[in-house]
Structure formats: structure tokens, C-alpha cells
Amino acid sequence: MTEKRNTYKAQKRTDYKAPNFTAVDIDLTFTLDDTHTIVKNVTTFKRLTSDTKAPLVLNGEDLKLNYVKVDGIEAKYKDVKNGIEISSVPDEFTVELENVINPSENSSLMGLYKSNGTFCTQCEPEGFRRITYSLDRSDVLAKYRVTIIGPEYGCGVLLSNGNLIERGTRKNRPYAVWEDPFPKPSYLFALVAGTFDIVSDTFTTMSRRKVALELYVDRGSYDRGLWAMQSIKDSMKWDEDRWGLEFDLDNFKVVAVDFFNFGAMENKGLNVFNSVYVMVDPTCATDTAFYNVQSVIGHEYFHNYTGDRVTLRDWFQLSLKESLTVFRDQEFSSDVANRALTRLHAINVIRGPQFAEDASPMAHPVRPEEVMEMNNFYTVTIYDKGAEIIRMIHTLIGESRFKKALNDYLRKFDGQAVTIEDFLCCFEESAGVDLSQFRRWYTQAGTPHVKASWTYDEANKNLVLKLTQHTNPTRDQKEKEPFYMPIRLSFLDKDGHDVHPAELSSDGFIIFNENEQEYRFTLDKDTFPVILRDFSAPVKLDAPYTMEQLQHMLSFCDDAFIKVDCATTMQNRYVHDNLEIAAAEGVLREPAELIASYKSILDSVDAQSDLILINETLKIQSIANLMETFDKINIDAIKYAHDALETKVAVSLVNEFVQLYGKIKASSSNYSVTDMGRRALNNLALHMIAVAKCAMDKKTEASEIVFNHYNGSKNMTDKLQAMTDAVHLDLDCKSEILKSFEKDWSKDALVFDNFFRVQATVPNKSAIDNVKKLLSHPSFDGRNPNRVRALTGALALSNPVALNDISGEGYDLLCKQITELNDINPSVAARILTPLLSFRRLDEKRQGMILNNLNSLMQMPKLSRSIYEKVSTALK
Ligand code: 0A1
Ligand code: ZN
């Protein structure tokens, strides 16, 4: 990027203009070379505009152009900002051009780059223009034919989208020709060339077509690809069973690469994955990793319809494909893994990072109005809040109308590039629903605060429920209109029975769409409402439950979210009520009600219990999520109260945890949902025992049990729990465990990231020193995004305590790393910068230190657009 400082301008959603030309056929020939790859590009264009004088403007970045011909004749062109302009072109014509690129030098990982010896591409959102000149926009759909000539030194496989037409050797170099029968936008183009182990299989579709499946993994890692292959088949089957969607090509290829900016990419028929989301076996990966592989494989596969077959008109519509696809992957995980766990994870993302984003200067609507750097908008708002919006539509219209509307949408817009508005209109028509007010979820940023209260009207034997909503202003919008939301409700009587009053519809939800509303239900006096079951809308709920009512719901309510939320609410109240004492480092009271509830849960655990749900209920929530329950953040006091809470629970219930520990055995080291639940709860017990022993001056015992846990298991879930406890609680066994882990795994980059992450997330200042030291560990590589995310990224995004240490060293270290990454990989740099943007929520001293750092970032030479957009927005 050679752009000068401060010249970046935002683009507006409303400035969308249809393209003057479209590309019909694109024929690409790549002659691969590490530093000098030649791209020959023959594209037929068609004029769409009635302005016959309009020139053809092609996007191109960091390309060396050799020649351009129009209909076979050398053409004149003009260099324009990030591209070229060719004037006097006919209505239909062919452009032939040749350009050169340097994959080895490409550290941004956008366009064609080299990942550990493998050539691979990433084109979403605007990476294709770094490969060749093109109409690099999502509303230009063309058919691709791709010839790949391997590098001189040879290469195992040469892959691109679609079907293999021809392969062989020419002039001693391997080549392959691919044709994709489906027209697609350039962002879905992919090329991979490298040497792999290949896991092969087949899937027979519902209309009995055989699809060849191929998964490409690092050589020597065949076994680590087997779960991902199973997940591909499960995704294909599930999409047929749940939505009637059948795979449309004769082959489906997935490639795992080590260098990748995000999780994975849905290129048509050739998904490219960050190896994190492919490579698992029980000795090297945790249960969570297995669960995530299944979910991300599903996500990318489901994009084949929601994203690839029906794509985006422009990038402001990103949530159209992402929200629908996240909703689909969540439903997949719910159906094939565990519904409660999947829902609770999704809710945690909303209540942690998404609420934080809504409260930050980068808050944006799910359909943004202004974007400077599109890479900054792959956010929890676009993805996860977007998915909550789809889920609300699903709640409002129900499964069968949703299914019909989804099929109508996919049929109506097949092969087209469309908008969120097209989607909503189609759903309105198909499901017979009015979503006019509901649209505010797409246009208004910020988290709605819903307040509930209720009274009893003795005369009419009515429970009167009153709801109010308010959304704080965000920078782009001062006034917020009320949102339209389904609030799932039930009622519990004093014996813990569910009561269904006549006024509540059989679907079990009410519509809340004004600033203030009242609802009446005919009920007995001592019955009370259970509000926001299943987190039916992405809001902050404030309901005046007594502690007894929270305990009652925790015991009797049948909704997983409500159960866990009761425990969370008790935890929140404890931290809020004790914050002042915590700020003065005083003596905190016992969380008696929470302990009582936990005791009764622990006393009743047996083989029939839902261990996943129990584990989620007993967990003390993260400091990060606790922070989001405050407007102004006193990080030291929150940490103090959090630790006091955890210690008091652990000490009071240490006997119960000791009883539990070792009682619930996983049946094998292998991943299964049942064993995941067993290990999770057993590991929680280990953690709580270790915390309790440390607080009871029995640190040696804590060390012993943790050390035995580490040595006694071959399973990475258990090993990682032990290593985390050893390091975070600074136990005697810490160095021995770290040494042993280093000996076993330092050559296995993905596994070894745990070594970095665990030390970067110690919840105190020592994490900063750990990170500084580990930056020069021989296994660390600052150009690999996974390493950066495991070390500096973990400090920034998963360790608010160390990052915000009052010394300011966390901020200095992070900004130093961001400065280095600005040139290497701006998109990763901008991501780990995120927590600093919310500096105004901290105390003045910290605000000042962050401000200094942000100001220095702004002075950086060659400041990238990604960082500029975020920092300048925060400083406004
Ligand atoms: N569409 C992908 C996410 C993705 C976005 C950008 C990337 O590189 C800059 C890579 C992947 C998904 O939703 O999975
Ligand atoms: Zn996606």
C-alpha cells in the first residue's frame, strides 16, 4: 500500500451504483513462481450502462502490468487510483492482459500468497484485485476457466473451483485446467497449489448423485483430517434433512492452510480453512476444538447456498450471507452436537464481545452505513447479532414458514447478487409477515435495555407485566426508535410448576415493540414471570427478581438459558453489590444464595444428569463478560470481586467438588458430546479444588492434584486444563508442566499455540512479561496470524486484567506489536487493537495512557487503512 497518511475516505451504503460493465467469462492462466507468478487474464465484458462513452475501469492493486489488448489489439490504458481505465470500448469485447505478482512477498494474506510452501488465495472481500485486473465487486458474476501451471520445482496438486477438465505435464511442468459451471463473483475465486495428504471420501446426495469429497491436509497429518471429513458429510446430510438443500457440484474440496487471516473461506466448491478448524485428534486437540471444527466446516459448507448461489450486491450487505449462515451453523451444531451448549455459547458471544462492540466507538448497525476498510467489518455485530436477528425472525414465523421462506428466497434469487432488503421483502411475502418495524434491527446500532416489572391486580386476579425499552445513543444516531422483539415468557408457581395463562399464545412469546407496554395475564398471586427464555432477543434485561425467585427458577425452570442466567445474575449482583468494598480491597461477604443453589446442584449430580448444562451453570463467568455489565469499568475492583466470588464458592464447596472429581469418568479419550460434558465438569471440579486449596494454604496439594491430572491423561482437554491451572495459579508444578509440554509439542505449531495462549492469559501483570519473553521463542513467528492471535492477540482480547495493568506496560506492548504488524498484516493488527478503542470507559489514568498510544499510532508512517479507520473513529 503506497497510500499517504490520512487520505482514506469512507464509502457510503447509499452511494451504491450498478456496474457499467459485467464480466461474462474469465479465463485465467497462472504460471506459478514464488516471486514472479505470471497471470494471463482473458475476460469477455458486456456493457450494461446506456452510456456508450463510459470507459471500462478495472481494479488492480500491487500488480505489474505487462500488456493489455482489447479484442486482440494492444490497447491504451490510463492508470487510475488502484486500477486502470480503458476508454472507447465496444458493447461486447474481450480484454486480454498479463500481469505479474509476487506471492512470497505477500504477508497481508490477501490475494495470492504462500503459506508454508503452499500457494493459496484469499479474495474476500477485495483480494482478487491483488491477483489480476478485474471488476472486483460482488455484483459482477462470471464463469471461470482456470489453468494452473505448477512452479518449476514441482508441486503435488493444482486446485481451483469447479471441475477438473484436463491435467498433465507441459514443458516439464505440471498443469491442470478447472472450470466452474456456476457464475460467481471474484471474491469466491480460489487457487491452491501444494503438496498434501489427501483424505478422500464420497457423499451420495438425496437425489442419489455421488459427490467426490477431498480434504487436503499437511503431509503426515492424515489422521487429523478424519473428523473434518466426517463433519463435511454430516453438514451435507443435515442441509438436506433440515432445509432440503442438496449439494450442486460433482466434487467438494477443502484445504487446510497454516497462514490464514480468519477462520475459513467459502470459495465455491473449494473451501480454504485455517488449519485450526480442520486438524484435530484427541491427543492434540481439545473437545472444544472438535466442536469448533464441526461448526466451522458446517458454516463454510452452508455458505454454498447462503452466500455462493445467492450472493451479495455490495459489501454493506455482508450480514445477509453471514447472519443467515451463522444461524444455519448454530442450528446444525444444535441438532448434531448439543442445543443448550450451542445456544449458551452464542449468547456469551452476544453478551461479551458484541455488547462491548455496541458500546464502543466502532458500534455499527448490522447493515452499516459507512465503511472505510471492509476487513474491519467482519464483526460480532455483522455475524452474531445478525444471527440473533435471523433467529428472531425464526421465532416470529416458526420453523415451517421459515423453511418455506428460505427456500423461496434461494429459488427466487438463485445466481443473483442481492440485498438484505430483498431478503426481508421475500420473507415478508412468503411468510405473510410484516417486518417493517422489525427492520430497525438492521439500521440502528446499539444494545436495547429492557426493564421489566410486574404487579398483581387483586381485583381482576391479573399479573400485570410492564416492559420498557431504551437504547443508548451511538455516535451515528442520537435518537433510537423502539425495536420490535419477541419476548419468550413462561410462568412459575410456588411449587415450581409451569403455568400457562390463557392470554399467552401457544408459541409462548409476546411482541414488545413500543417504548413501554403492559400485558395482563390471569394467574394466581404467587406465580411470577420467567422473562426472555432462550434469550429470545439480543437485549440487556433488567428484571427485579428476588434472590429466592432466582433460586426457584434455577431449580425448576426447564429453559437452559434461564437456568444458567439465574446463576449469572446472582454472580453479577454479588460483584455489583460488593464493588465499593472490592475497590478498597476490603473483606467481602459470602455469596450465600449462590453457594446454596450450587450445593444442591452438586449434591444431586448423577449418571442421568445433564452434565453440560450443570457445568455451564456452575462456571464463574469471565471477567470480560462481567465488565460488560458495567458502563464505567473499574477493572481492579471487578477482578478483586470476581476472584473473591470464585474463591468463596470454591472453598465453601470444596468437599462437593472433591466428591465430584474423578467420579464422572469419560468413557474414552475420544471426542463425543457425552464425554465432552463429562470432561468439562470434571475439569471444572479440578479447577475449583485447586482454587480452594490455594486459598486454604494448601498450595502443595493443589499442585499435586493438578500435576497428576496432567500426567494421568492422554487427552488434550484434560492436559490443557491442568496446564492452565498450573500456570494461572502459579503452582509448583508449573515449570515442569510447561517444560513437558514444550518438549512434546514445540514442533507442532497448532498445538503449541496453547503454550503461548496459556501464558499470555495469566490474569495478572506477569502475563505481559511472559508475552515479551515468548515473542522471541524459536517457535514463535510474527508473520503467522495464528501465532499472533495466540500470544499478543490473547493478551489483547482474552486478558483484560493484564492488558489494563496500571503500569501501562500492556498498552505499550500491544501498540508496539500493532506498529510492527501494520506493515506485515494490517487486518490482523486492526483486530487486536479493538479493546483499546473503548478507553473512555476506563479511569482517567488508563484513558491517558491509551490515548498517548493511540495518538502515536496515528503518527505512524504508512498507517494502514484498517488501523486508521478504527483509531480515528475512537479519537473522534
Ligand atoms: N466469509 C468467511 C470469512 C472470511 C472473511 C475474510 C477473509 O479474509 C480476509 C477470510 C474469511 C466466513 O464467513 O467464513
Ligand atoms: Zn461466513
Q: Tell me the pLDDT tens digit for each residue of 357-400.
A: 999 999 999 999 999 999 999 999 999 999 999 999 999 999 99
Residue 7, pLDDT > 80, answer no
Query: Residues of the chain with pLDDT > 90: what percent?
Result: 98
Looking at residues 128-151, what average pLDDT do you find? 98
In whole angstroms, give the CA distance from residue 498 to residue 195. 60
Shortest-distance ligand to the CA of residue 329? 2
Looking at residues 497-525, what average pLDDT do you find? 97
To test the ligand 1 pocket, which listed residue (106, 109, 120, 124) has its Cβ within 8 A of the most ligand atoms?
Answer: 124
Burial 297-317 (b: 16+ CB within 10 A, else e): bbbbbbbbbbbbbbbbbbbbb
- Packing angle of the helix pair 766-774, 809-824 (nearest 10 deg): 30
Residue written as cell 500435576? 707
**pLDDT tens-place string over residues 211-268:** 999 999 999 999 999 999 999 999 999 999 999 999 999 999 999 999 999 999 999 9
| Cβ-Cβ contacts under 8 Å for 609 (sequence gap 6 or more) | none
pLDDT band at 2 (very low <50, low <70, confident <90, very high): very low
pLDDT at residue number 161: 98
Contact 375, 125 (CB under 8 A): yes
Shortest-distance ligand to the CA of residue 271? 1
Residue 801, pLDDT > 50, answer yes
How far, in Å, is the centroid of ligand 1 from the Cα of 823? 21
How far, in Å, is the centroid of ligand 2 from the Cα of 245? 17
> Is the Cβ atom of 775 under 6 angstroms away from ligand 1?
no
Q: Does the ipTM exceed 0.90?
A: yes
> Is the Cβ atom of 384 under 6 angstroms away from ligand 1?
no
Looking at residues 575-590, what average pLDDT do you find? 98
**pLDDT tens-place string over residues 58-95:** 999 999 999 999 999 999 999 999 999 999 999 999 99
Contact 508, 521 (CB under 8 A): no
Q: Which residues does residue 370 pair with via DSSP β-bridges, in sequence order?
A: 12
Q: Smallest Cα–Cα separation from 503: which of 460, 563, 555, 543?
A: 460
To test the ligand 1 pocket, which listed residue (276, 378, 825, 864) has its Cβ within 8 A of the most ligand atoms?
Answer: 378
Query: Which protein residues have a CB closer than 5 Å to ligand 2 (ion)?
Result: 322, 325
Residue 459, pLDDT > 90, answer yes
Distance of CA 109 to the CA centre of its chain: 19
Contact 268, 182 (CB under 8 A): yes
Residue 329, pLDDT > 90, answer yes
Residue 38, SS3 per DSSP: strand
- With 0-12 CB in 10 A as exposed, 13-18 as middle and 19+ as buried, what is 42? middle
Residue 136, pLDDT > 80, answer yes
Grid cell of 841 as nine digits: 470507559
Residue 689, pLDDT > 80, answer yes
In whole angstroms, give the CA distance from residue 77 to residue 70. 10
Could you tell me where the DSSP H helices lie in 141-259?
A: 226-243
Q: Smallest Cα–Cα separation from 327: which of 621, 613, 538?
A: 538
> Is the Cβ atom of 261 under 6 angstroms away from ligand 1?
yes
**pLDDT tens-place string over residues 749-772:** 999 999 999 999 999 999 999 999
Strands 485-492 and 509-512: antiparallel
Shortest-distance ligand to the CA of residue 277? 1
pLDDT band at 522 (very low <50, low <70, confident <90, very high): very high
Closest-lying ligand 1 atom to the alpha carbon of residue 827: 9
- With 0-12 CB in 10 A as exposed, 13-18 as middle and 19+ as buried, what is 262? middle
pLDDT at residue number 662: 84
The dihedral through the CA atoms of 830, 832, 838, 840 has a sign that is negative
How far, in Å, is the centroid of ligand 2 from the Cα of 301? 9
> Is the Cβ atom of 376 under 6 angstroms away from ligand 1?
no
pLDDT at residue number 3: 45
How far, in Å, is the centroid of ligand 1 from the Cα of 122? 8
| Cβ-Cβ contacts under 8 Å for 142 (sequence gap 6 or more) | 22, 23, 24, 25, 26, 43, 183, 184, 186
Residue 5, pLDDT > 70, answer no
Q: Which residues does residue 836 pair with via DSSP β-bridges, in sequence order?
A: none
pLDDT at residue number 228: 98
pLDDT at residue number 6: 61
Looking at residues 790-808, what average pLDDT do you find? 98
Q: Smallest Cα–Cα separation from 191: which of 122, 124, 102?
A: 122
Whole-number Cα distances in Å, 739 to 35, 365, 373, 690, 707: 39, 47, 42, 21, 13
Q: 412-421, 562-571, 662-671, 693-702 — which is least confidently predicted?
A: 662-671
Active site residues: 300
In whole angstroms, give the CA distance from residue 794 to residue 638. 20
How far, in Å, is the centroid of ligand 2 from the Cα of 463? 44
pTM tops 0.80: yes
In whole angstroms, give the CA distance from residue 374 to residue 95. 28
In whole angstroms, give the CA distance from residue 330 to residue 345. 10
One-character DSSP codes across 810-823: HHHHHHHHHHHHHH
Contact 492, 503 (CB under 8 A): no
Q: Smallest Cα–Cα separation from 318: which of 109, 108, 122, 125?
A: 125
> Is the Cβ atom of 266 under 6 angstroms away from ligand 1?
yes
Residue 1, pLDDT > 80, answer no
Q: Name which residue sits closest to atom 10 of ligand 1, judged by CA.
A: 262
pLDDT at residue number 316: 99
